[in-house]
Amino acid sequence: MRISYSGLETFSTCPAKYKFQYIDRIKTPKSKDAFFGILIHECLKLFHDPSRTTPMLEDELLKYFTQQWDKDVYQDSQEEAFAFHQGIDILKRYYLQNQNQRFNVVNLETLFQVPILDHQITGRIDRIDKLEDGTFEVIDYKTSKKMPAQEIIDNNFQLSVYYLGLANRWPLLEKENRPVKLSLYYLRHGEKLFAFRDTQEIKKTKEKIVDIINQIDKSKFEPKSNSLCDWCQYQSYCPLYKHKFIKEESPTPNDQRMQDIIKEYFAIKDRQSTENKRLTELKRVINLYCDLKGIDRVFGDEGYITRLPQQRYSYNLIKVKEILEPINKWNEILTIDKTKFKKVIDSLSYDLKKQIDQTKTLKSEFKVISMSRKK
Ligand code: SF4
């Protein structure tokens, strides 16, 4: 299979979207975010263009951005103005941070291809620099609003695939185990986060790629609800969004009735959430009062409220296995599912129950509050 990094990522996020985009090849209008990201990338490509004889001036950079800006991509003029200023801010910050730096840019927006088993993995790297110590740096620009934690960068799949792309172009890098700095440049924050990959991580990346491709081969391309659904360009094709479009295009009285039901459902959930918060607060105050008075039951005109101690235990699974395996009960549990576990334990003799009991240790202790209404 020939598949791009974006294809792998899209399938992992939502198989249905992968099908619409890469198999059915449904064309959709360019999203606002895509337009914005592409234009900023173009500006930075110009800024770093190695064929330039003189460094680019800030005015030149901003002029290019302004000339290429297409306000019609945005429906809301306030949103358009905000996005435009964000773009100017990003470029000004980038210019300020980078104008006096010397870069040895090896490639810009370079395509790569990596063979893994029978497959070809492709992608595009925004920038590759050669650093002063002779090592390479891969840089990918991000225009996203959020900047992730370092831990996410350390495990970032995109960077691992880009490493493979670089190592395929210059195999000595992998053979000689030369470090490659893998950076994500968060342009809105002016921060470049980076990580390195070791042999073990590279092996895992290759396994992950093969695993995703195997999943694609077997997939029924079901929709997978995710945090990016709200911005998905394929909503009108997606089974999960079918009702949204039926409702807008040809509403029936039943659809109107459903709107009222949905409204009521949300209202009840909101009330429940407010009341749950208040209940938690009341429990906290009751507990404090009981602690202060050294009691576990409080009386009111409506009835009384009792708090009872409860314990949570965890079992030593190695020991539990040693007890249950000889009597062929371990297979009935396998994973410690609470219900199965209780069922098996209840079926044991007193002695065995006692042995299992001895493997447990107290995990937490807390008080449960219950109420009794006056008869
Ligand atoms: S709307 Fe969500 S679930 Fe539907 S195709 Fe797009 S990403 Fe997948």
Give tens-digit pLDDT for 147-198: 999 999 999 999 999 999 999 998 888 888 889 999 999 999 999 999 999 9
Residue 231 Cα, ligand 1 centroid: separation in angstroms? Answer: 9
Report the separation in Å between the CA atom of 238 and the middle of ligand 1, taken as the mean of its atom positions.
6
* Residue 221 Cβ < 6 Å to ligand 1: no
Please tell me the pTM assigned to this model.
0.75
- Closest residue by Cα to atom 5, ligand 1, is 17
Ligand 1 pocket, 235 CB below 6 A?
yes
Q: What are the angstrom distances between the C-alpha of 86 and each of 37, 77, 90, 112, 140?
A: 11, 14, 6, 31, 19
Closest CA to 150 of 204, 182, 195: 195
Q: How many other C-beta atoms are found inside a 10 Å radius of the C-beta of residue 57?
A: 11
Amino acid at 336: I
Distance separating alpha carbons of residues 354 and 361, to the nearest angstrom: 13
Which of 228, 233, 236 has most ligand 1 atoms within 8 Å of CB, for mutation? Answer: 228
The SS3 assignment for 39 reads helix
Establish whether residue 7 lines the binding site of ligand 1, counting it when its CB lies within 6 angstroms of any ligand atom. Answer: no
Ligand 1 pocket, mutate which of 12, 22, 240 (most atoms under 8 A from CB): 240
pLDDT block averages, 10 residues each, the chain of length 375: 96 97 94 94 95 90 96 92 96 94 91 95 96 93 93 95 94 86 96 94 95 96 94 94 82 85 95 96 95 94 91 86 86 70 84 87 82 79
- pLDDT, one tens digit per residue, over 279-324 is 999 999 999 999 999 999 999 999 999 998 888 888 888 888 888 8
For residue 147, how many other CB atoms are within 10 A of its CB? 15
Q: How many CB atoms lie within 10 A of CB 17?
A: 23
- Residue of 25, 27, 23 whose CA lies nearest to 221: 23
Task: Give the whole-angstrom CA distance, residue 82 versus residue 77.
Answer: 9
